[in-house]
Structure 1
């Protein structure tokens, strides 16, 4: 069983890393890596993740989109269902699992906010809506860096899901 978990987590890492490098949009690319590795299609969740890249709306001001994707995937498996909406305690399992994701992610990258993760890697953050910042981000190796972040977030989230299932 452990070998299968390790293999699936590695697959989530590789898929998310590939997706981010080829297609960009860290929340969707990470989420697709997780869901494809675990063979759990969720097209509506994937579509809903589209605006969350680069710290929400390419702003860099919010949480890393790859981290958000991990939280969405965990919620898909362990989140409170609509029938339990009136029971706040029904969400506690997902809160605990997402907190585990957050703590592991922060330990690995030293931050949760997109701008802080970019700054830690490149000494600054980038407004990807501006062509000159897009070029500077590419020159700073952010595509490779963010691809690794996406892969790592996918791997952590997949492991949490698989070990809890």
Structure 2
């Protein structure tokens, strides 16, 4: 897949250590020369040393927005192919990402193959329409699980954040297999 590409340098900017590590291993197996950054400041420092050809950037980082990094990459070299990978996808943010220089905006969870496809897709080619769109129930489940994990598995905090009764949340999490 990457045989015809000379520069396979890829920077993954993600503050979730486990996700960043899994993605880095998966991209390394697919032929990329992977560098990792866990924060916006770390990514900026690495970019000062050497610009990557590709970048996978989380939208929300602990010390800022991934859009800032994408803008920096775009200013330094418009040929860099960066995508935003986020669990907080919406249309205005996707538009902002593209305006900042991202070539794609992908919602988590995404497979490594989907990410590779987005990174190497020719600029004038559009992504294919989803063959199996997410059902509303699946979207709800994903959102609940995401909030639950973001709040370190605290049921009471998650219930408050979702404006949901704690016992209702517990039943849903039990059904989903998270508790």
* TM-score grouping bracket, smaller chain normalisation: 0.3 to 0.5
Structure index of larger Rg: 2
Q: Of Structure 1 and Structure 2, which has the larger fraction of its residues in strand?
A: 2
TM-score by length of 1: 0.33
More helix by share: 1
Q: Normalising by the residue count of structure 2, what TM-score does the alignment of the two structures yield?
A: 0.32
Greater RCO (CA < 8 Å, at least 6 residues apart): 1
